[in-house]
Structures are given as structure tokens and as C-alpha cells.
Amino acid sequence: MLLGLLKTIFFLITFYYLFKIIGKLLLPYAMKKGVERMQQQQQNAASNYRQQAQQQEGKVTVQRKTKKNSEVVNDNEGEYVDFEEVN
């Protein structure tokens, strides 16, 4: 029983330090790749924005809203409702 406990503790410590060493080696590489990918996405977005701005330069559009004929209602007048008395 004591031997099993010591083996378990030994494996836990070994795996802990193994992952710690591998993390120190692989984490900088993964971070570098992530930063490069984000920079590439930003460059693509900036170039797309510049292309759209150049295409729209000098283009003028005029939008007019048409006014619909609306009925003028006097504020003093209300809507007449016909009702019937029920007893």
C-alpha cells in the first residue's frame, strides 16, 4: 500500500515537471503563431477598408424623402364613436 502511494506521488511529480518543461518550450511558439495570425487579420481588414474607401471616393448620392399627403386633424376634434345604451 505504501509502495503504491509512493509510485503515485512519483508519477504526479514527474508529470508535473514534464508538462512544465514542455510548456516552457511550446508556449512561446504558440503565442508567436497566435500574434502573427492576429496581425495578418488586421492587415487584411485594413487593406479591405482602404480598397472600399478608394472605390467610393468621388461618388455622390442624393436621397430624398418623399412627403406623403397627410390629413390635418384639428386638436380640438376627437373621433366620434357611436354607442348604444344597454339596460
Q: What is the pLDDT of residues 34-45, one digit of tens each?
A: 999 999 999 999
Task: Decide: pTM greater than 0.85.
Answer: no
86: left (phi over 0), alpha (psi -120 to 50) or beta: beta
The span from the CA of 6 to the CA of 47, in Å, is: 60
For residues 49-56, average pLDDT: 75
